[in-house]
Amino acid sequence: MCWNTQLSCLVHRRRRGRRRRRRRRRQSQCKQMNTNMKTRTKRSFSSMDFSWCLSFPIIVHFLLLVSLVCPVLSSSSSPPSTEVGNGNDPVSNQTLRPQEELKKFNFIRNHLQKINKPAVKTIESPDGDIIDCVVTHQQPAFDHPQLKGQKPLDAPERPEGYKHEVEERSEEFQVWSMSGEYCPEGTIPIRRTTQEDMLRASSVSTFGRKLRSRVRRDTNSNGHEHAVGYVNGEEYYGAKASINVWAPRVTNQYEFSLSQMWVISGSFGNDLNTIEAGWQVSPELYGDSYPRFFTYWTSDAYQATGCYNLLCSGFVQTNNRIAIGAAISPTSSYHGGQFDISLLIWKDPKHGNWWLEFGSGVLVGYWPSVLFTHLRNHGSMVQFGGEIVNSRQSGYHTSTQMGSGHFAGEGFGKASYFRNMQVVDWDNNLVPLSNLKVLADHPNCYDIQGGINRVWGNYFYYGGPGRNVRCP
């Protein structure tokens, strides 16, 4: 009995021991399984993170492409409005924004392809400009419907009474020519226009054009202020002057300061015709503060026709050593060396085109007569002088300088000047000005003083600092 009892107790203890060992093994297996599960979970989530990181840019680019190509529909059940850009629906404005950006960049790309012609040679200017040497008959001018298929004309007869002034480096007054390289014969140098140039413009659709301003000099000139000398009352077939070159300070991107000649015809309404040439500082157009040689034309008062330089079809360039729109060097310094450029504009009696000459007999090119209405015949006014834009961005008058930035009364070496001003008469003669009038529409900001002597003929000093105690 006792033995049986002891035997069953022993069996019972062995069974309990086996059960405890099995329980411990199961517990150990469970712990291992938990550990493995955690590891697999971490790996799984890590793999998901990696996969998401790979796919996220693809998803973003896909969604951006869809937003550009397909209009995003409103959650409203009503049909989408056909009115574009009405400004009343912020959702629709946000929807159109990517499309408008795409349209803008397409416009820029197409415009650059149109005006940047294939180059046979490219020159990098020390100031960062890229100068393309373009075959003469492939320049932008010959994209004009009335000029297609043409080639530049030969030089015309110069006006009687023309005298070559003694000028050194007449073709080396621009920074790009300091590289020692020039465009080969049969090509012309064109400053390359970049995407950045166009994006600086207040509107890409008006890039390269002046905003409309009144040429008649009064106090209601839409922010444009002038100090000019002018003649009118006769028929004018050209003009000539030597223009002092400075580097005036321009205080914001959407202002400019220039000094130029205007040959003008037509009424002072929508039919105004102008031909213009001189130097200008325009951060918006060029992206810097260098004075640059420029040309301009319009046949409808700066509305839809015309442009600066070669930024549209119009002006025909014939010279392979002068780049219109390139920086001028040297410039004048206060109480120091003075530098000026001589410009002559005149109407060819044979073909009626308006030619531009720089310095001592260097022909730059011409404005074809077909560009104009009134100027197909003659000018009715000639103006010389300075112009600035006063945006009043800070609520007061701009500090943008005109000329040297100093008033006319300071005289030579301090104030900017025009000298040896003449006009071309009906018989292709260069003659002195008769009855030169001077006018400054904001004389406390910029003024002008005229005179005449045997050396400089008709001349005037002009300019000013802009904002000062008398010009708030």
The catalytic residues are: 276, 387
Taking a C-beta distance cutoff of 8 angstroms, is the pair 402, 464 a contact? yes
CA dist 414 → 93, 331, 333, 334, 365 (Å): 53, 13, 8, 5, 33
Residue with token string 């450029």: 341
Backbone angles phi, psi at 9, to 5 degrees: -65, -40
Three-class SS of the chain: CHHHHHHHHHHHHHHHHHHHHHHHHHHHHHHHHHHHHHHHHHHHHHHHHHHHHHHHHHHHHHHHHHHHHCCCCCCCCCCCCCCCCCCCCHHHHHHHHHHHHHHHHHHHHHHHHHHCCCCCEEEECCCCCEEEEEEHHHCHHHHCCCCCCCCCCCCCCCCECCCCCCCCCCCCCEHHHHHCCCCCCCEEEEECCCHHHHHHCCCHHHCCCCCCCCCCCCCCCCCEEEEEEEEEEEEECEEEEEEECCCCCCCCCCCCEEEEEEEEECCCCCCCEEEEEEEEECHHHHCCCCCEEEEEEECCCCCCCCCECCCCCCCEECCCCCCCCCEECCCCCCCCCCCEEEEEEEECCCCCCEEEEECCCEEEEEECHHHCCHHHCCEEEEEEEEEEECCCCCCCCCCCCECCCCCHHHCCCCCEEEEEEEEECCCCEEEECCCCEEEECCCCCCEEEEEEECCCEEEEEEEECCCECCEC
Q: Which residues lie closer than 8 Å to 352 by C-beta, 6 or more apart?
A: 369, 376
d(CA 207, CA 201): 6
d(CA 15, CA 236): 129
